[in-house]
Each structure stands twice: as C-alpha cells, then as structure tokens.
Amino acid sequence: MTPEAAVPELRCTADVVVELGGGRRVAVEVEGPGRLLTNHPHTETRTGPAELLRRQLERVLGSGNVVGVSYWAWEELGGDRGRQEAWLGGRLAEVPGAGDEESGGEAKGWRTRKRQARERQGEKGLEEQQGAEKKGREEA
C-alpha cells in the first residue's frame, strides 16, 4: 500500500493505491468534506473536481478499481485500527474480481498481510529491546 501514490498515466496522485495480484491496482480515495457536496450530513455527491479525478482514475485503473472512503464512515470506526483495517479490507474485497484467482485473491488477505507485517515489526523491536537489556546486564 502506498500513500499519496503517483498515477503516472495521469500525472497526478491518488490518496492510496493498493496493488493486488497480477499487478492490478486499486485506488482508495478519501472523500473528506472538501470533496463532497453536503446538503445533508451523509450525502455522497462529489464535487466536480473530485468526480473528475475519480473518472480519470477509473479510466486508467479500470472500471470499479476506485474505492471511496467517506470521512464520516471512517470516523464512525472510532480510531480503532483493527476495525479500520477490517472495514477497509471488506471494501477492497467488494472490488469486482478482487477475491478471484485471476487477481490472486489478495484483497481478502490484505488485512492479514498488514497484521503480519506489524507483528514482524513488533517482534523485531522486541528482539532489539531484549538484546539491549542483555547488553546492559553484561556491562553491569
């Protein structure tokens, strides 16, 4: 996953680009208050520039390969990282063909891979901490 990912075909950036199996790319666009027309608190009508960017991304990445994340839906998750990952993983799994063998079924495993990477990072940090403690005891 790459935040503020360049989309060279458009000479612009998407908020996030997730690469699935076979090189398939899916853009995740965070739709904040500045990208939505708000006559009602939960209206999903995009502003002209936001809709244009979405259409351009779909033209380059393929129809259905742009996922919108509304700011209020994200806020409703309450900052709980596990819930956020599960919700976003579910949204990515909804992308047409994301769970089939042609795309490597990788959208379904997105959350698992992110969690595994975090756990590996935590294990590495723990090993470094234990090594430093051991070194401190040896020096004392």
Highest average pLDDT, of 59-73, 91-105, 114-128, comes from 59-73
Would the pLDDT of 38 be above 90? no
The candidate with the shortest Cα–Cα distance to 45, out of 60, 31, 62, is 31
| Residue 137 banded pLDDT, cuts 50, 70, 90 | low
Phi and psi, residue 40, nearest 5°? -135, 145
- Sort 43 into a burial class: Cβ within 10 Å, 0-12 / 13-18 / 19+: exposed
| Residue 113 banded pLDDT, cuts 50, 70, 90 | very low
Mean pLDDT of all residues belonging to the chain: 75
Q: How does strand 12-19 pair with strand 2-7?
A: antiparallel
Q: What is the pTM of this model?
A: 0.61
Would the pLDDT of 79 be above 50? yes
Q: What is the mean pLDDT of residues 122-126?
A: 57
Would the pLDDT of 57 be above 90? yes
- HSE value, Cβ hemisphere, 13 Å, CA-based, for 82: 0
Q: What is the mean pLDDT of residues 122-135?
A: 62
| Residue 59 banded pLDDT, cuts 50, 70, 90 | very high
Question: Which residues neighbour 54 within 8 Å (Cβ) at sequence distance 6 or greater?
Answer: 29, 46, 66, 68
